């Protein structure tokens, strides 16, 4: 018989066994971010629809096809957040952070929502970790953001990562580059897919974001025919070029492997200069682990003063899938104690269990089972040690510690129990 209720398509339950790895990954990330001096920020799961429409682009797939948009009981136009940067920028303005300090290092972690086709490692409710530096236009901020990104993945056990980088210049140079893209694509424009053709008219840089295999084949056809794709780097103004060269120099100084990817773009006007993705080449064609870039016009687009910023986001769902496939990234399982009681020591066992739980992982029997059944329960639960509260031993002020690993056991005075457990489980 089919269940009456199931999780909505594109969502899932994370059960305790899975969450152990997730919590480990989140803890590792928190440690890296704190050592870099970033402060955590938590924003609402839903915001005004207009906030995301402005920051993602009215013509983007996120807005036109993927947004979870709804009207609440107060007739407000709202949306579940599809990404984190817009909410952070809104909070920066609304809470007056700019008046408290010139530069803010912020990070966030939580669920995001996009109505897209569910596939392996991608969900309609998904999870991201992201970081932002708001207030600095220096190339060093871009370099720090990329270094932080790489260090997060290395803390999770990834290695030999490569950073793909590009510069998208300024709004003026992007318009110039857009015209060059239109000229380059003119011979195949009529064969482009509907989305790409519309983008070619409204925002040609976004054509390069296409995943349509037919469009990608047309690009390759142009290149094979002797018409290389124009590069944004060739359209940079002098200040953007100097910024670009300092970013590359900073990555070299830190020993971070990188390559220039001319097709890596950000199509909206408030994106400026550096764009980047981090790749794990061992993952093959789907090697991208996440990306980010500079958005010096974003705060201003939301009604604030001109304020530079740079950030990135990481999809945790896919990251966890890779770690699971590699059987990597798991926490050391702490030793578990099981308190087993006899009829005359059940009340004492309940008290001891509560006391020990202030320091250790402790399980116990809730159903007054026989001692043999309790030992089987402890074994099934994966306990490391069993504390046997025999009636005679307890009356003498003693506890029996039994190891489920080697079967050995030892009688210890009640007063020495904590010390003995610390020694066994350290």
Give 120-176 pLDDT, tens digit per residue.
Answer: 767 899 999 999 999 999 999 999 999 999 999 999 998 888 899 999 888 888 888
**Distance (Å, rounded) from C-alpha 371 to C-alpha 386?**
11
List the beta strands (DSSP E) in 114-240: 125-134, 162-167
Please identify which residue in the block is written with the tokens 């408290």.
100
pLDDT given at position 189 = 76
Give 197-250 pLDDT, tens digit per residue.
Answer: 777 777 777 777 777 788 888 888 888 887 788 888 888 889 999 999 999 999
Mean pLDDT score of the chain: 88
Give 41-64 pLDDT, tens digit per residue.
Answer: 999 999 999 999 888 766 566 666
DSSP-derived 3-state class of residue 145: helix
Mean pLDDT, residues 246-262: 93
pLDDT given at position 54 = 84
Q: Which residues contact 72 (CB under 8 A, 6 or more apart)?
A: 78
Q: Is the model's pLDDT at 285 over the cut of 70?
A: no
Give 353-375 pLDDT, tens digit per residue.
Answer: 999 999 999 999 888 899 999 99
CB 25 within 8 Å of CB 329: yes
Fold of the domain built from segment(s) 16-169+236-325: BirA Bifunctional Protein; domain 2 (3.30.930)
**Distance (Å, rounded) from C-alpha 90 to C-alpha 267?**
21
pLDDT given at position 78 = 96
Q: Is the model's pLDDT at 331 over the cut of 70?
A: no
Domain assignments of the chain as residue spans, ordered by start: 16-169+236-325, 173-224, 336-421
Report the percentage of the chain scoring pLDDT > 90. 53
Q: Is the model's pLDDT at 348 over the cut of 80?
A: yes
pLDDT given at position 322 = 87
- 110: how many CB neighbours lie within 10 A of its CB? 15
pLDDT given at position 156 = 92
Looking at domain 336-421, its CATH class is alpha beta
pTM score of the predicted model = 0.84
Burial of 269 (0-12, 13-18, 19+ CB in 10 A): middle
Helix axes 171-185, 194-202, angle to 10 degrees: 130
Q: Percentage helix, strand, coil, to 5, in the chain?
A: 45, 20, 35
């Amino acid at each position: 018989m089919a269940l009456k209720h199931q999780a909505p398509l594109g969502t899932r339950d994370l059960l305790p066994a899975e969450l152990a790895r997730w919590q480990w990954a989140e803890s590792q990330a928190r440690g890296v971010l704190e050592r870099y001096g970033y402060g955590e920020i938590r924003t609402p799961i839903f915001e005004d629809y207009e906030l995301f429409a402005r920051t993602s682009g009215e013509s983007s797939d996120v807005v036109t096809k993927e947004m979870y948009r709804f009207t609440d009981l107060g007739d407000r136009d709202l949306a579940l957040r599809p990404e984190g940067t817009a909410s952070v920028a809104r909070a920066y303005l609304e809470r007056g952070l700019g008046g408290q300090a010139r530069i803010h290092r912020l990070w966030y972690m939580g669920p995001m929502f996009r109505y897209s086709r569910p596939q392996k490692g991608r969900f309609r409710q998904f999870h991201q970790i992201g970081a932002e530096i708001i207030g600095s236009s220096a190339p060093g901020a871009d370099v720090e953001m990329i270094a932080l990104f790489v260090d997060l993945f290395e803390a999770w056990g990834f290695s030999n990562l490569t950073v793909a980088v590009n510069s998208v210049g300024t709004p003026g140079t992007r318009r110039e580059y857009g015209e060059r893209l239109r000229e380059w694509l003119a011979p195949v424009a009529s064969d482009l897919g509907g989305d790409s053709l519309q983008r070619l008219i409204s925002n040609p840089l976004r054509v390069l974001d296409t995943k349509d295999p037919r469009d990608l084949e047309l690009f390759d056809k142009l290149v094979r025919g002797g018409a290389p794709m124009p590069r944004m780097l060739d359209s940079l103004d002098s200040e953007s070029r100097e910024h670009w060269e300092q970013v590359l120099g900073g990555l070299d100084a830190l020993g971070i492997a990188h390559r220039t990817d001319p097709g890596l773009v950000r199509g909206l006007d408030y994106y400026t200069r550096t764009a980047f993705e981090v790749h794990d080449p061992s993952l093959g064609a789907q090697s991208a682990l996440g990306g980010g870039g500079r958005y010096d016009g974003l705060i201003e687009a939301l009604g604030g003063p001109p304020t530079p910023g740079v950030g990135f986001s990481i999809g945790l769902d896919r990251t966890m899938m890779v770690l699971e496939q590699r059987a990597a990234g798991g926490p050391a399982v702490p030793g578990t104690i099981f308190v087993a009681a006899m009829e005359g020591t059940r009340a004492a066992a309940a008290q001891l269990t509560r006391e020990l739980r202030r320091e250790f992982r402790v399980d116990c029997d809730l159903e007054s089972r026989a001692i043999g059944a309790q030992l089987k329960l402890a074994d099934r639960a994966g306990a490391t040690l069993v504390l046997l509260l025999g009636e005679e031993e307890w009356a003498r002020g003693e506890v029996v510690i039994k190891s489920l690993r080697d079967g050995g056991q030892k009688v210890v005075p009640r007063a020495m129990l904590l010390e003995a457990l610390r020694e066994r489980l350290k």
